[in-house]
Chain A
């Protein structure tokens, strides 16, 4: 484990809470979380447990980041077309 990953892991250890939501609960709430974010509201204040989970769980964080990108595309009208996306696969 390199220094950067160790630092991140150490931070994760200290940010551990007695009660944390599960991956299933995170999946259930993450679309609401993204909706709050993309509509300019304070998602972290309204759904702190989701933020806490995605900081700790790499799989849920990867899914969240993709979801956030896609929601922004929808909102801003910049969604890549299927053809554009197919072209980006090489």
Chain B
């Protein structure tokens, strides 16, 4: 179908949004619809996050996301460099806010403090499982060495915060923004902690002779 919001060029979007009066109002209204479409699209593909809400509540959340995204976008309008369609650039503000809202809804009743206490158990359960699935004994022994190396690095080489974030996100699949909220941090800081943890794990594996190709093959993964 034909959509009015697609009809503007990048320059026309910027001109109209920076104008005053009716042309600005029309552009803002079209932009808001565009952001709402992005939020609804994201929600429609992540309905499992909204188990506790009825349809009207979900639709209202999408409206709220569109409004929040509109404010965020207008505050960053001067950052648009023109290296994409304006609409593509705009959509990312809505997808960012919609993702945070959806994950928040899914995890709102979960105590990450309690999860932290059980993290060690989850980890050791993982480390001990899956050792006898019918594979050759020498291959199984090497797999165990990889697991033990990873366990050793996690226990002895990661900082407490790196270990905590790793166990939450990798072992318990807690979403980034919930970890951010829980620790009062931001995405960049959490990403950096995981990045540093991965670097230590990579070094640890390589120092013990586990190079990439053979290790991935060992676990049946093709590089």
Contact = CB atoms under 8 A, between A and B. Distances in A.
B128 to A, nearest CB: 12
A45 interface: no
Interface stretch (B14-22, B91-99, B109-117, B155-163): B91-99
Contacts of B130: 3
A66 B202 CA distance: 30
Interface string A51-90: 0000011110011001101110010010111100110111
Interface residues of A, number: 46
Interface residues of B, number: 59
Contacts of A3: 130, 219-220
Contacts of B55: 89-90
Nearest to B55: A89
B194 to A, nearest CB: 8
Nearest to B97: A63
Interface string A19-33: 010111001101110
A80 B47 contact: no
A1 B126 contact: yes
Most buried by B among A63, A81, A82, A86: A63
A32 B83 contact: yes
Contact of A22 (B1, B58, B169, B192): B192
B195 to A, nearest CB: 5
A85 B38 CA distance: 9
B170 A89 contact: no
Interface in B24-64: 33, 36-38, 40-45, 47, 55, 58-59, 62
Contact of A14 (B92, B171, B216): B216
A11 B89 contact: no
B84 A32 contact: yes
A62 B99 contact: yes
Contacts of A6: 126, 219
Interface of B: 1, 3, 6, 33, 36-38, 40-45, 47, 55, 58-59, 62, 79, 81, 83-85, 87-89, 91-92, 95-96, 98-99, 126, 130, 146, 169-171, 175-177, 187-188, 191-192, 194-195, 198-199, 201-202, 205, 212, 215-216, 219-221, 223
- 8 closest A-B pairs by beta carbon, nearest first, are A35-B84, A85-B40, A59-B176, A23-B187, A16-B198, A31-B84, A32-B83, A14-B212
Given A69-B41, A86-B59, 13 more contacts: A9-B170, A11-B216, A11-B221, A22-B188, A56-B194, A56-B198, A66-B45, A66-B91, A70-B37, A70-B95, A89-B44, A89-B55, A89-B58
